[in-house]
Structure 1
């Protein structure tokens, strides 16, 4: 049960009739796994902490670089050379000391990835490469853990929500075939500073909706954002019955 301090901190959310005290308590009892503490993971983690998600698990094996600071807002100049998980943890604890933060500084794969996903109520994929994205998707499908997937490059962003096992929901592999190709990186192609903030914030929003059951999520849809034209587009996603990850067994 929330104390007076928490009731005041989260009062503006609790005022929402669709959310109320019940929604806040669901957040406080939830566990979110955030993979990648860069441009997407920074705002996503910060908003989840501010909103009161009780347990945040941060996974990143990189350190803060000066070139990160243009868009990775969980880190500051004084954190250059520090592990991103440690830098982000300090930021989140300043935002909300009630949130319990766990750091994982190793590359998650195999049984470690499956265990981390199985323990989470929702996973936010904020990574920047296809290898990680497909591995995370496979673990989420196996454990039926909701996955909030975001991606950004140059002036373009995309967002999708995958809920394995619910209403014939597609998975990330239904959207993209796993051919092992490398994703474009911001270091190669560039990126405008606010763009990952927009998509990362939406990842946090969708995660909160998944955790509380409030509203309608992006399940079965792909949201595309063109920052140059300030245009949003939406595609309907259907489950591929022959998908090697979530399709029907042969």
Structure 2
């Protein structure tokens, strides 16, 4: 690290769990963010500010006025722009040292597998089951850790899956690949603006801990947040031996 980086990341370096070695690891790391909306906004901003060296952002949507209520990486000047381009512009101003790769596409299985294989951690910030299951399958195949988030109305969920661990469960063990595959639950049910920030920040925190090798109780656990009461509930997850995605992965 140069002198400017030592100053920029000094508050991380003061943490014994991070130190110079950990910050150097972050600078050399690559995170793949699927979806740059409500969850992806705080995820991308905190990973960039923390110094994750390479961020690949994947989203084929454009910024609309209704997004600005909660998707804080975008602004009024972003309207009509591709979300990945809007986010890349904002992250470039936040931390010019971070390399941002913008993929404005819905990736097929082959492209997704290639992107996941290049990443050290994947953050699923999408809003539909089809994408979540596709990302999960690619992470299991590549043995890449996955941090999954969801938020709608006042309800949030966080789950961390690490297929590098023996007998680790996957997203499919928790949720079968049946359900509403359409986009737009926020448009249908609404979403409390700070909720996506809470869950997205938790996703960023867990991704950073995975990259740093810091042990976390969030791995292989489903955490459910009630935004009305402020309460969290946690459930430990176990691998389904009959899971068609990870059942024979170990």
TM over 0.5: yes
Partner Cα separation in structure 1 for residue 65 and residue 21 of structure 2: 42
Q: Is the 8 A contact 2:145 2:164 kept in 1?
A: no
> 1:42 is matched with which residue?
41
Post-superposition shift, 1:106? Answer: 1.0
Show structure 2 runs of 5+ residues with no match.
Answer: none
SS at match of 2:69: coil
> 2:231 is matched with which residue?
231
Q: Is the 8 A contact 1:209 1:217 kept in 2?
A: no
> 1:241 is matched with which residue?
241
Alignment size in residue pairs: 248
Post-superposition shift, 1:222? Answer: 0.6
Partner Cα separation in structure 1 for residue 216 and residue 186 of structure 2: 31
Post-superposition shift, 1:121? Answer: 0.4
| CA offsets 1:54-89 (integer angstroms, 9 cap, x no match) | 000000000000000000000001110000000000
SS at match of 1:69: helix
Partner Cα separation in structure 1 for residue 102 and residue 243 of structure 2: 33
Post-superposition shift, 1:147? Answer: 0.3
Partner Cα separation in structure 2 for residue 213 and residue 145 of structure 1: 14
> 2:156 is matched with which residue?
157
Q: Runs in 1 of length 4+ with deviation above 2 angstroms? A: 180-184
Post-superposition shift, 1:217? Answer: 4.7
> 1:209 is matched with which residue?
209
> 1:68 is matched with which residue?
67
| CA offsets 1:172-215 (integer angstroms, 9 cap, x no match) | 00000112533671000000100000000110000000001123
Q: Is the 8 A contact 1:161 1:220 kept in 2?
A: yes
What value does the CA root-mean-square deviation take over the aligned residues?
A: 1.1
* TM-score using structure 2 length: 0.97
Q: 1:173 to 1:112 in 2, by over 3 A?
A: same
1:127 matched to 2:142? The reply is: no
* TM-score using structure 1 length: 0.97
Q: Is the 8 A contact 1:210 1:217 kept in 2?
A: no
Partner Cα separation in structure 2 for residue 97 and residue 33 of structure 1: 18
Partner Cα separation in structure 2 for residue 42 and residue 155 of structure 1: 18
Partner Cα separation in structure 2 for residue 132 and residue 205 of structure 1: 22
> How do 1:117-196 and structure 2 match up within 5 A?
117-182=116-181, 185-196=185-196
Partner Cα separation in structure 2 for residue 52 and residue 191 of structure 1: 29
Partner Cα separation in structure 2 for residue 12 and residue 167 of structure 1: 34
SS at match of 1:223: strand
Q: Which moved more, 1:188-197 or 1:215-224?
A: 215-224
Partner Cα separation in structure 2 for residue 182 and residue 72 of structure 1: 22
Partner Cα separation in structure 2 for residue 125 and residue 104 of structure 1: 15
> How do 1:3-152 and structure 2 match up within 5 A?
3-152=2-151
Partner Cα separation in structure 2 for residue 247 and residue 181 of structure 1: 24
SS at match of 1:222: strand
